[in-house]
Structures are given as structure tokens and as C-alpha cells.
Amino acid sequence: MFRSILSKSLRDYRVPMLAWGFGLLVFMAAEVAMATPAVVTAYISLVKILSFWGDPYAMNTPEGYITFRYMETAWPILLSIWPILAGARLVRGEEERGTMDVLLATSQTRTRLLLEKVGALVIALLVIAVLYAVGVVAGEAALGGGHVDVVRALLAGLNLSLLAFFFGMVALLLSQLTTGRRAAAGWTSGLLILFVFLNMAGRELNGAWVQYLSPVYYYNLNRPLIAGFPDQPLAALVPLGLALLCLGGSVLLFARRDIGRSAIESQREVAGSRQQALSSLSRAEREVSTRSVSLQTLFADGWESFWWLLGIVAFCALWQFLTPGLQKFFNQVVQQTPWLARYLFDTPTNTNTAVLGIIVFAFVPALVVILALTLALKWPSDLENGRLELIFSTPQSRPRVLLERFGANALMVLLASVVTWLTLTIGAQLANLSINQGRLLAASFSMLPPALVAIGLVYAVSGRLRYGAVLGIATAYLVLSYLQESLEGNIQFPGWVMSLSVFHLYGNPIFFGMDWTNFLGMTGVGIALLVIGLVQFRYVDIELG
Amino acid sequence: MPAIIQTHQLTKSYGRSRGILDVTFDIQEGEVFGFLGPNGAGKTTTMRTLMGLLRGNLGSATIGGLDCWTQSTEVKKLVGYLPGEFTFDPGLRGAQIIEYLGHLRGGVDQAYVRSLVERLGLDPSKRFRAYSHGNKQKLGLVQAFMHQPRLLILDEPTSGLDPLNQQEFYKMVAEIHAEGRTVFLSSHILPEVEQTSDRVAIIREGRLVTIDHVSALKAIRQRDVEIAFAAPASVDWFKQAADVTRVAQGADERTLQLVVQGDLAEIIQVAGQHGATNIATHEPTLEEAFLRFYEPQQESSALAG
């Protein structure tokens, strides 16, 4: 596996590649197998409400149902996450670790190095596409056959991987223009959300031109799972062409720029008189961010968190703007389909709050928990990379440093709850929407305990485990939690199993108000995990890389 | 003088692999103490255990009478520490890092910080990611010295520094020494330890091999002696001589090469009896004394550390 950069990179990708691939395989096999006529027919009632989610086509078939529910919006977002991270760290990660100098000290050219790494990413995405197809075919076999053949399943997987590859290449290009992989990944994630919104807005505004700006739109022009869909194979050239453009730009910039610096980095960093250099000490003295670990953590996380919060604001504002238009449909469907009310929230409702609840609070809690996980994971990452070595050489006790980091993460999550509540409250005022303030408050601030559990879990296991293991455990728990809650309508889990899901315990406060038992219970679990983390951390060695 | 650092049979193992074993030494207040050993011998493990970053499995370690593990927060109030390898948030500027660590430590005199920055020629306006290895090391030295601690623990402090800055560092250590403060430094550069330290400890495969004054270590030296004669010489003349550990023919038949440990009196006498025309001795450096401790097991496997 160490014969070339390509094989070494493939080795590096083996865990995420197999995790994402087999995760998709299992999920698709289960979902396709469960796409029985009863489930498909029941789901058709939802299509009008969820018109932002996809363009319904052949909705009375399993392949139409699967395409609408997962292939148009959900998987393009989820499957792009790893390629974005991989694209951002493709060369920038090596530069940050200081290993790029060693690689380039060999006879490899920069272009070849970059292309071999991209080649490994392409192979990994192809493997994921194949595993996706295997899952679809397996589910199809369980369902009885006759809907999707192997070739169509494979084409659907390839279409998905192509879009993910595009976002990976955008991240690669942006990593040439930024000085850190985190910034590149953050900007690309923002673009992903923007492109998804543009595509959704296009759908809601009856084919408005804005959707043509989104590669997600061109991806959706092909729906290989559906035999009768008028596919436009040439549309696939748009994400492919854009990906190759980004790749070409990356090759050009990478071949010409200084290693460790951005292609457009300001020369002010290089120049500057001795006096100016020393004056930076005076400026640093006045900075609030240097006063404590918690303040430094908040400021360090600030830029990344800002984009998350902006995304949440945009998401809430967009759907608040669309709520009046959806209200009529919503009332109609709920009145005509009693099971829907039970399926969604056990009781009929026809308020703006309910519409917002279905749309906004189905996703924002997941976003807030992912934000919490992202912030908390910096703790094991910093520990492993030796970034805390100097902090621990100061007279700050270990529990204090850990508590300050935990507190900063919790504060950012609290801010996300406040921002959600404020956006929806101010938006309601501006749009003259009547919403139940009590329930909105409950729904917004009930997001805090699941996020605390996510943060607590990371801190609880970070004392003993390496970053990779912490990432795997925390991500697996949250994905399973979300799937468990999503599949509740299809699979009857025992009560105790459901009580393990933070998303299940979050419940539906937008409809039922605050569930103090679950709120306090989850907060207690979060605190208990923090205590475990504190106790563990008192006795462990600070290991390096 | 009281001991500021005391370790007694300090042992730290990493699962199956050994870190340090039964390490016992004292460092007196006001002393500059060198710590020598090859890669993986256990120097960094010892220093990180003293800093409370690693927990010793057996034995004890104290700084200023405080336990390095249970009272590590108090210990760190006494210490300035430079890790062997360190990294920081790559987006922070040098000035921000200095200020941040200064706040966490407390008691930092800004004028002294400026003098250190100027003295080492560090540009604090750059981001951490933009620093070269040498400049990161300067930043590390500034943060270790800036609160004027009672004790400095420095893991390979001159690694990456250019010769001018190395000289500046030696001056800084000499000043600390003159002020009665203590320095515990590890190094691969033996002349550096020879120049800066009062005493030196040599560690090999996790165990302390010797601790002594630098001058004492040099006294147990072996010397190379080259003797030229007017006529062809025989190695047999010196085989029975005291303190000769090896004798061999030199570049030509009139020259002999000897390795002598100890006094040269008998060598000079025997050489005179056989009509020696010249005697040249080569004085060993501490490096040669150091290497002697490794000769029997130079191929030993690397250890953690």
C-alpha cells in the first residue's frame, strides 16, 4: 500500500470509504426493502408539503419514492460531507502536518502528487457508488424485484458520486486560496448549502432561473433509478466539467504557490518593519481573546461557527418566508389524511407553528447537534496534535482547561438556539405570521440538551481514545440516533432502544411544548458524560500524535 | 543548596514498551543540569513526567518539594517549559500566543517579553503557521523564559536555532545561572552541554547511566596518543604498560597509535627508552566521553521518549 502516493492515499481513505459505502449499502437495502406499496402510497400524501424537498416523479413506485425521499436532496448533502473534508485536506492537510515538504523532496512533481491524490479520491467515490448499488439491488431483491436493475442502481450511485466529487474539487480549489483546510471546508460547506437552497428555491418558485446556478439542479436532471424518467445524460457534464475546471485551477495554483501559504496571501505577512512587528505585541495585549482558555476557544471557533449560524438563519428565514404559501396545502393534507397527523405529531394541527415545526425543526436540531460535534471534536484533535502541550505547561489545572473548552462549546450551542429563536420570532413579526411563542421557545432551547450529550460524549471518551476513534464513536452514535428516529414509522423499536436516541428524546416541542423530563434527563446525561470526561482526564497521559 | 528537582526510582512505561526505568537524580537550586542521550533514550519522557503531562508508574518526582503529578498545577507556577516538539493554533499570531500563555501563567513583565523578542530576533506579528522551525523555537523560548521562572525545563532548546541565536541562548542561560535560577536542559549537542552545564546526566535505554560534573566525566576520558620513533617501532613495547587499552601500528612502521585511559607517565618513560622523537595526544571532548557509554550497545533498539 506504500508503493505510490495513490495507493498510500487510498489506504488513508479506506476507513471513511468503507464506512460511508457500507453505511449506504445497509441503509439503501433497508429502505428499498421497506418501500412496500402501503408505505409508498402513504408517503404520496406528504409530497405536496415536501415540495421543496424534491420533484415528485412516479411516486407510486418504490424507485420514485426512494428517489424523492433520499436521492434528490438528502444524499447529495450527506454524501458530499466526506469529499468536502477530503478535498480540503488533500494537499492542505499535508501542509498543515508538515509532511508536504518531505513528499515534495522526493522526485514526484507537484502535479503528479495532486493528481494521484485526486485519483485515490475518485476510486474511493467509485467504491462508494458500487456499494450503494449493491444496497439498492439487495433491497430490491428483498422487495420482490421488477423495479430497479443493477445498471440503473449503479448509474444512480455514479451520479451521486459525481456530485460529491464536484464538491470535493471545489474544496480542493478553495484550499489553494485559503491558508487552512478548515476554512476551505467551511466555505465549501457554505456553498453546498447555498446550492441546495438555490435548487429548492427554484422548485418552490416554479422553475425560477436561480436553480440553474446550482449544480444540484443538473444532478437532479438524471434520475437513473426511475426507468421512465426523461434523463438528460449531458446534464452530468455540468458537475463533471465544473469539477474538472476546479481540478485544473487547483493544479495550476498548487504548481505555482509557496507551500504553506495561500495562492493569494497578502504580502503584509512577509513585509513589515521591526517596529510594526513589535507593535503586534501591544495589539495582542489589548485582545480579549487571549485572556482565558474559554475566550480563546470561542474566538478560535468564531469564524466557523459564524457560517453555521448564518446557515441556520438562512434556513429558518427561507422557510418562514415560504410558510404562508404552504399553509393552505398543509391544512388540506392534514384534514384529508388523518394518519399523517398521527405520523407526524400525533395530533392534528393547522397553525403556522406546525408548518414551521415540520420543516424547520425536522432539520435544525440535527444541524445544531452536528455543530456541537464539530466544535467538541477539536478537543481530541488538539490533544493528539500537541496543540495543548504549552497550555498544560501553564499553571492551569486539567479540569479547568477541559471545563473552559466544554463551556465554550456549550455557549456556542446556546447561541445557535438563541439565533434560531430570534430568527423565527423576528421573521414572524416581519411576515405577520402568528406563531406560538411558548412552543417556539421550547423547540429552540430543547436543542441544547441533545447537543450537550454530543459534546459530553466526545469529552468522555477523549481521555482514553485517539481522535479517529472518538470521531467514529460520536458520529456513529449520532447517525444511528437520527436513523432510529427517522425509521420509527417503519420499524418498531423497543421503548428502551428509542430512549437512546437524542433526536427521539428531543421529541416535538414545537407541537407539544417543553418536555421537561427529557430536557432535564438529557442535560443530566450531558453533565454525567462531562464528569466522566473530567475524571478520566485527571489520570491520563497527554499523548502526542 | 536544596534540591529543586528530585526523582526517586521514577519509572514510566508505555504498555509493553519501556519509557524510563528507576530514574533517580537531584538537581540543586541554581544549577544548570544537562541531560544527554540519543533519540528514544527517555529524555523527553522524563521531562514530560516532571511536567505532569505523563503519570509515572512507579517512584516519585518532585519539583520544589511538590509532587509532579498530584500537585502539577502548583509545580507549573515554578516552571518555564519548552517542549521538544510543540505546535499551536496555526491561525494565531506569535504575539497572540505569547499574550495568551502570559495570561494563563500570570506574572509576566511585558518589558521583559519585549526584550526577549528583540534579543532572539523573533517577529511576533506572523501567524504560527508561517513560522519556520527556528522561529517556532524562538517563540517557544520566549514563552518559557517570559515569566522569569525559578526553574526552566528545556527539551532540546537550540534545535533549529541558527548559530547566532544559539550563542544568544547560551548567554541567556548564563544570566539565569548568575541569578541563581535553575535550568534543566536536554540536548544532543554535547559541546553545548559542556559549555552551559555544571552537571550532566547520561540516559541510555531508559536508565540513567551516570550523573556527574562535566569535568569529572571528562576526567574518565580515553586519550589517543600517537608516538613517532626514529627507527621502526614494535607494539610489544607498550602491551604491558599501565593504562594502555589499545596499541596498534600507525601510518608507517616508525609510528604507533595508543589508546590510554589515565596517566601518561609510564607511556612517556617507555617511549623515551625506545628513542621517541614526537608524542602527540588528542584531548577528548565530552562527546567522546559520552559515546563511550554507548559503545557496548550502540545498536540497541530505539525507545519511546
Q: Which residues of B touch A387 (CB under 8 A)?
A: 87-89
B1 contact A CB<8A: no
> Which residue's entry shows cell 562535566?
B214
Taking only residues 133 to 162 of chain B, the set having a beta carbon closer than 8 angstroms to any beta carbon of chain A reads 140, 143
For residues B20 and B248, what is the distance between their CA atoms, to the nearest angstrom? 40
> Which residue's entry shows cell 423495479?
A147
Q: Domain B222-283 carries which CATH code?
A: 3.30.70.100
Which range has the top average pLDDT, A136-140, A275-279, B221-225?
A: A136-140
Give the torsion sign (CA, B209, B215, B220, B223): positive
Residue B299: the pLDDT is 40
The pLDDT of B70-79, averaged and rounded, is 92
A99 contact B CB<8A: no
Q: Which residues of A touch B52 (CB under 8 A)?
A: 392
Higher pLDDT, A397 or A463: A397
Q: What is the DSSP letter of B300?
A: P
Higher pLDDT, B298 or A445: A445
CB distance B98–A287 less than 8 Å?
no
- Cell numbers linked to B114: 519585549
Contacts of A52 (CB under 8 A, 6+ apart): A200, A203, A204, A319, A322, A359
For residues B150 and B64, what is the distance between their CA atoms, to the nearest angstrom? 9
The pLDDT of A59-76, averaged and rounded, is 91
A190 contact B CB<8A: no
B67 contact A CB<8A: no
Residue B300: the pLDDT is 37
Instruction: Report, at the CATH architecture level, how domain B3-218 is classified.
Output: 3-Layer(aba) Sandwich (3.40)
CB distance A281–B76 less than 8 Å?
no
Say if the ipTM goes beyond 0.90. no
Residue A417: the pLDDT is 95
Q: Is the pLDDT of residue A250 over 80?
A: yes
A513 contact B CB<8A: no
Residue A308: the pLDDT is 85
Contacts of A499 (CB under 8 A, 6+ apart): A505
Residue A104: the pLDDT is 83
The pLDDT of B154-175, averaged and rounded, is 93
Residue A516: the pLDDT is 94
B96 contact A CB<8A: yes
Q: Residue B298 — very low, low, confident or very high, per pLDDT cuts 50/70/90?
A: very low
A387 contact B CB<8A: yes
Mean pLDDT check: name the lowest of A91-95, A382-386, A432-436, B264-268. Answer: A432-436
Residue of A nearest to B105 (CA): A394
Q: Is the pLDDT of residue A256 over 50?
A: yes
Q: Is the pLDDT of residue B84 over 60?
A: yes
Looking at A291-397, list the stretches that DSSP marks H as alpha helix, in order from N- to C-terminal side. 293-336, 338-345, 352-359, 364-376, 378-384
Checking A296-304 for CB contacts under 8 A at 24+ apart, the result is A296/B100, A297/A404, A297/A405, A297/A408, A297/A409, A298/A408, A298/A411, A298/A412, A300/B89, A300/B91, A300/B92, A301/A375, A301/A378, A301/A408, A301/A409, A301/A412, A303/A183, A303/A186, A304/A182, A304/A186, A304/A374, A304/A375
B187 beta partners: B36
Domain residue extents for chain B = 3-218, 222-283
Phi/psi of residue A493, each to 5°? -90, 150
Q: Is the pLDDT of residue B304 over 50?
A: no
pLDDT tens profile A290-331: 999 999 999 988 888 888 888 888 888 877 776 666 666 666
The pLDDT of A339-354, averaged and rounded, is 55
Whether B225 contacts B264, CB under 8 Å: yes
Q: Which residues of A touch B48 (CB under 8 A)?
A: 542
Q: Is the pLDDT of residue A341 over 70?
A: no
For residues A7 and A14, what is the distance between their CA atoms, to the nearest angstrom? 10
Higher pLDDT, A539 or A516: A516
Q: Is the pLDDT of residue A348 over 70?
A: no
Q: Which residues of B touch A272 (CB under 8 A)?
A: 123, 125
Residue from B117, B125, B127, B145 whose CB has the most chain A CBs within 10 Å, to mutate: B125
Contacts of A153 (CB under 8 A, 6+ apart): A132, A133, A134, A136, A137, A140, A224, A225
Domain residue extents for chain A = 1-30+72-262, 290-545
B51 contact A CB<8A: yes
- Cell numbers linked to B234: 614494535
Q: Residue A63 — very low, low, confident or very high, per pLDDT cuts 50/70/90?
A: very high
For residues A307 and A305, what is the distance between their CA atoms, to the nearest angstrom? 5
